[in-house]
Structure 1
């Protein structure tokens, strides 16, 4: 996902393009990893000192609904990153220390389950959590 595509999605769905939303998206673009709402709030507070968690959560929820960002949960906390634009189906390895992701090009669903005759699968999510080599050294 890039900034232009994210802003197009907002516009196409009738949502305003605000400075706060652009800044939130810029943070995701620069960081390139999963971020918590707290990390996002801290990154935005210099420019927006009165910004609240409510505003952050509302925008994260909107962005997730519009598939601008994707969320996951680990250690009891929801974390977010820009939605993948990849045209191919894939999954992720996620570092639980720094939030960086690596793509897994194989799909475990191919070997785990056959399409049942009495159930239509519309989607799935597979994530592997661990530590990247950089974080293992720390």
Structure 2
């Protein structure tokens, strides 16, 4: 009955194609995020091994990467809690219709940030 009320209030019925497209966008963004997170983790490990032997530039890069990894971890945990409905302030509320879209966009943004950092490290390493 609550679902009928929310459908009536929104006035917009989502088509099957739109739902499938949204799910695919979310799945691709999630997969890309996991791939980039793994690359970020490898870059951090590599810089940690060489940080003692090299300049403060490497240490600065390492610090930026560690902050990005922590931020990414925090965002991912928030998204997971949001999807599971375990967040205290949302415990009785079902998922919002645009939730997958918002999560996909946030993951895409994180992917761009990680790419930018990894490219800057690759560029410095090649120089």
Alignment TM-score, normalising by the size of structure 2: 0.23
Which of 1 and 2 has greater Rg? 2
Alignment TM-score, normalising by the size of structure 1: 0.22
Q: Which has the higher helix share?
A: 2
Q: Which has the higher strand share?
A: 1
Q: Which structure ranks higher in relative contact order (CA pairs < 8 Å, sequence separation ≥ 6)? A: 2
